[in-house]
């Protein structure tokens, strides 16, 4: 059923103007990949086709992002996020345009050059844009954990890069500026990929997940291409430019598909309640800190056993210590959140939703404890069972909404006449029950009289309601059910006699 809904949704997107454009560009990327593998491939033609395509695709992403940014029906943070992503894509478009001009017309290697500055500008724009996504898609309580998850994932990727790449390259930034630029590209890709991973593991609506999926896919493809490009520039491998161009086209195409999904998502879809996460997302969220610690310690052990020393070993060591600190802080916030959720659930389980008093479940929990305390310390204990007289007639006359308002007012009146040590709960319907610690029958009857007098002073739609009260006093050997039964019998005896619950 879910697959059918996704297919149906995809078909509806394809019928929109942005869907048609995204489909045509996707077919173009596939056609380019097939062409470079065929016998009809020509290098001179590729300079024109690849250069134009790598410039046009970020231009389309920029246009789509600006279209989202100026849609007033989307929330502000979402629009601002796409505005920053469109600015980053515009920078990427300028960089690719400069590279195209230098390769095709000046016949020179564009790396290093001014294009690298524009290319690198894409990463901070896109990264901050994704952070703004989090403010629109994730609740305020969850953002602290989200940002720590992001820091943990980024630190994990950094440790992998340091151990496998950076620590193995002996170059100086001042002496090899080209090496510096090409190394920054895969780092930037992984930085944005970290943000999408941190966001994707939350409870998100389906359109948001598809948007993040395409962003993540684009960053994975870009990281592969940029990593191969870095190795090629540093002389470690020899890879042909058309294959890299194909990867870069697919990366921009994925960003275009993400923007297409965002544009096609209407306001109602974006305001839907996020569905429950699948087990995979819960597993990823729970396992993330443990995987991070295992990664850090594993790389540290590998560095030590491999005989690393100096900068290579110290970098891994410091990163592992930071990883443990981040995970401990993250788990502390998770613990705080779990305690808050437990208290909220407990309060909901014990509270009557209408009156705000305790409910019958809480009363059943607390009465045996009070009886044990009374028996242990030889103290008095009484309970009052109250039934609002005439409430059924009032409810039938004025309706359930007015009846609910009356019950709220009655509950406040009852609670105002009690001591701080007393416990009042809604027993069900128009019945309430009160536990009176250290109260004998005389004191219990006095409190009952005070409650009746206070309720008589309130008039509801010209009607004055009364309350019948049943009293029972705890004696050793009584069970909670027997104590309640005595109060119930006393209540209905006085109702039948139409007499007060005291003599």
If DSSP codes are grouped into helix, strand and coil, which group holds residue 276?
Answer: coil
Residue of 423, 425, 332 lying closest to 373 (CA atoms): 423
Active site residues: 430
Rounded distance, CA 170 to CA 219, Å?
27
| Local confidence pLDDT in tens for the 503 residues of the chain | 444 444 455 556 666 788 889 999 999 999 999 999 888 888 888 888 988 999 999 999 999 999 999 988 888 888 999 999 999 999 999 999 998 888 877 777 766 778 888 988 999 999 999 888 888 777 777 788 888 888 888 888 888 777 766 655 554 444 456 666 677 788 888 888 888 887 877 767 777 888 889 999 999 999 899 888 877 777 667 788 889 899 999 999 999 999 998 888 765 444 455 555 555 556 666 777 788 778 878 877 877 776 666 666 787 888 888 888 888 898 888 888 888 888 888 888 889 988 989 999 999 999 999 999 999 999 999 999 999 988 888 887 888 888 889 899 999 999 999 999 999 999 888 899 999 999 999 999 999 999 999 988 887 777 778 889 999 999 988 999 999 999 999 988 877 776 443 33
Pairing assessment for the beta strands 381-389 and 423-428 based on DSSP bridges: unpaired
Q: Are 319 and 158 in contact (CB under 8 A)?
A: yes
Sheet of 423-428, strands arranged across: 423-428, 431-437, 381-389, 466-473
381 beta partners = 437
| Token pair of 1 as six digits | 């059923």
Of 384, 393, 389, the closest CA to residue 410 belongs to 389
């Amino acid at each position: 059923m879910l697959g059918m809904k996704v297919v149906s949704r995809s078909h509806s997107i394809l019928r929109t103007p942005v869907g048609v454009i995204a489909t045509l560009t996707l077919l173009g990327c596939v056609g380019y990949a097939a062409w470079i593998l065929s016998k009809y491939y020509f290098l001179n033609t590729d300079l024109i086709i690849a250069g134009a395509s790598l410039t046009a695709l970020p231009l389309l992403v920029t246009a789509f992002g600006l279209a989202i940014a100026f849609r007033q029906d989307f929330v502000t943070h979402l629009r601002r996020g796409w505005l920053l992503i469109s600015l980053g894509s515009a920078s990427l478009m300028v960089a690719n345009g400069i590279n195209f001009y230098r390769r095709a017309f000046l016949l020179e290697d564009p790396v290093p050059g001014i294009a690298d500055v524009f290319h690198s500008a894409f990463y901070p724009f896109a990264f901050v844009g994704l952070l703004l996504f989090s403010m629109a898609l994730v609740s305020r309580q969850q953002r602290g954990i989200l940002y720590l998850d992001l820091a943990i994932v980024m630190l994990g990727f950094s440790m992998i890069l340091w151990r496998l790449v950076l620590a193995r390259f002996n170059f100086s930034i001042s002496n090899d500026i080209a090496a510096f630029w090409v190394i920054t590209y895969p780092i930037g890709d992984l930085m944005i990929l970290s943000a999408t991973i941190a966001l994707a593991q939350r409870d998100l609506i389906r359109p948001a997940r598809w948007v993040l999926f395409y962003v993540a896919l684009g960053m994975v493809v870009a990281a592969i291409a940029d990593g191969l490009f870095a190795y090629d520039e540093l002389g470690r491998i020899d890879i042909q430019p058309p294959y890299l161009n194909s990867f870069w086209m697919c990366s921009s195409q994925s960003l275009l598909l993400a923007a297409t999904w965002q544009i096609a998502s209407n306001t109602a879809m974006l305001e839907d309640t996020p569905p429950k996460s699948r087990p995979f997302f819960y597993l990823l969220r729970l396992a993330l800190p443990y995987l991070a610690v295992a990664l850090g310690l594993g790389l540290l052990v590998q560095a030590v056993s491999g005989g690393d020393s100096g900068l290579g070993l110290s970098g891994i060591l410091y990163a592992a210590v930071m990883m443990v600190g981040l995970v401990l802080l993250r788990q502390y916030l998770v613990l705080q959140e779990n305690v808050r959720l437990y208290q909220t659930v407990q309060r909901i389980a014990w509270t009557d939703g209408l009156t705000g008093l305790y409910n019958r479940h809480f009363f059943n929990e607390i009465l045996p404890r009070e009886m044990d305390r009374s028996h242990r310390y030889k103290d008095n204990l009484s309970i009052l069972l109250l039934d609002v007289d005439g409430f059924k007639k009032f409810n039938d006359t004025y309706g359930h909404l007015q009846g609910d308002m009356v019950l709220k007012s009655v509950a406040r009146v009852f609670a105002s006449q009690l001591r701080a040590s007393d416990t009042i709960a809604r027993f069900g319907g128009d019945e309430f029950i009160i536990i009176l610690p250290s109260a004998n029958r005389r004191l219990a009857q006095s409190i009952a009289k005070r409650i009746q007098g206070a309720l008589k002073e309130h008039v509801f739609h010209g009607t004055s309601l009364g309350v019948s009260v049943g009293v029972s006093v705890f004696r050793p050997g009584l069970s909670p059910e027997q104590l309640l039964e005595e109060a119930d019998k006393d209540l209905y005896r006085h109702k039948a006699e139409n007499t007060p619950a005291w003599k």
